[in-house]
Amino acid sequence: MHVFPQLRKLEKKYANELVVIGVHSAKFPNEKEVENLRNAVWRHDLEHPVVNDADFQVWQQYACRAWPTLMFIDPEGKVIGKHEGEISYEPFDQLLGQMVAEFDTKGVLDRTPLRFHLDREPTGPLSFPGKVLADPATDRLFISDSNHNRIIVTSLDGAVQQVIGSGSVGLNDGDLASASFNHPQGVALVGDVLYVADTENHAIRRVDLAAGTVETIAGTGNQGHMREGRGPGRTTELNSPWDLVAHNGTLYAAMAGTHQLWSMTLSDSRIGPYAGSGREALIDGPLAAAALAQPSGLTTDGTKLYFADSETSSIRSADLNPTGRVGTIVGLDLFVFGDMDGSEHNVRLQHPIGITYFEGTLYVADTYNHKIKRVRPATRSAFTLLGTGEPGDRDGRGDQAMFNEPSGLSMANGRIYIADTNNHRVRVADLSTNEVSTLELRGL
């Protein structure tokens, strides 16, 4: 995901010199399905061809070892370079500029324009909504309408009250109508202030709902790589903040890009890592020494932070004190995943992204299994609550309802609000009847 923004700039700059071909060699079974890959191409706004390398044939032929891997191929079809891991724009641009000059000199560069047919479908009022936050005290629901680059505020029954963001991609502060975001995800509410994880801007935004203003409080707009220390919010670079939760004057962030949890003291706006060394793995232990892997969902019971550690397909916890520890509730390793209910080492999830706490139970969006599950920390157990395990779009009883990569959850008045991401909908599950319905948005 971090390579895509660099590629977009380069595809535009070298429109008639550079051809990008994406090769999707999937780790998770759900990612191998063509329809799910098509949704991912739409969600990430890709405009180049993508190969579904479901059997790792291309991966093996090019001797790849890591995600991502960049292969450089000259105009005559010869592999002339390889880069493993992320790469920043400047050296990427410099290298391509040198290659263009070299192949121009040799007279082998063909600038005949290529045109691709973009496979797109209209999504409706929402486009890949990533997260939701329900606030029963004020009868409000906050929806991260991620691919429309905005936040929708409705009543809990779907009447639209506010739209935050112009819909254009950008990092502009100002009033609600002119401010801009870039694929926002998780939000946290403190009084009448909404904090937004502005994921692809690598920033945290503060929305004053009463005054109708948006301001950036952390991040510069550039992807950062800091893994220790603390700094002022406005000058510290972040790395894909994915979810937020507030507790006792501190804002906690699931910093997916550095495989850490971060914290920001709201009184002085200083920010930095809270848990995780930055190594991508599943290792429990003291906060600073533990290893996480792409945490993407975050919640709290007031004593612990609970998070969906997506790449390890696990649900984990971090104590809310500086001498605390990180522990694993369910989940085993980076390459151990599946769909199995049970307890302790018998549990298997597949890339969970959403999580919320309610009365001793964690409700989890088991995203790549297209299910909502109950996880009980006390017994280290997990059980399916909603969904069939197959992607689909169907209301009804819990074991018959169908979702498509649900990614966000929030609880209010005995109901679970669900960001059903690939269905471009918000679903509502009544816990007393186990009935799932689609929230009708009125006035959007």
Q: What is the pLDDT of residues 55-103, one digit of tens each?
A: 999 999 999 999 999 999 999 999 999 999 988 889 999 999 999 999 9
> How far is residue 307's CA from residue 314's CA, in Å, rounded to a whole number?
9
pLDDT, tens digit, 9 for 90 and up, residues 305-325? 999 999 999 999 999 998 999
- Check residue 117 and give its pLDDT: 84
Of 294, 282, 264, 376, the C-alpha closest to 329 is 376
> How far is residue 274's CA from residue 268's CA, in Å, rounded to a whole number?
16
pLDDT, tens digit, 9 for 90 and up, residues 206-219? 999 999 999 999 99
- Check residue 1 and give its pLDDT: 87
Q: Are 226 and 272 in contact (CB under 8 A)?
A: yes
Which residue is it, tokens 């391509």?
96
pLDDT at residue 441 tops 80 = yes
> How far is residue 383's CA from residue 2's CA, in Å, rounded to a whole number?
34
Those residues with Cβ within 8 angstroms of residue 242's Cβ, 6 or more apart along the chain or in another chain: 185, 186, 197, 199, 253, 254, 255, 256, 295, 296, 297
Q: Are 263 and 272 in contact (CB under 8 A)?
A: yes
- Check residue 289 and give its pLDDT: 97
Question: Which element (helix H / strand E) includes 337?
Answer: none
Torsion 149-154-157-158 (CA) sign: negative
pLDDT, tens digit, 9 for 90 and up, residues 154-201? 999 999 999 999 999 999 999 999 999 999 999 999 999 999 999 999
- Check residue 88 and give its pLDDT: 85
Question: Which element (helix H / strand E) includes 286?
Answer: strand 285-286
pLDDT more than 70, % of the chain: 100
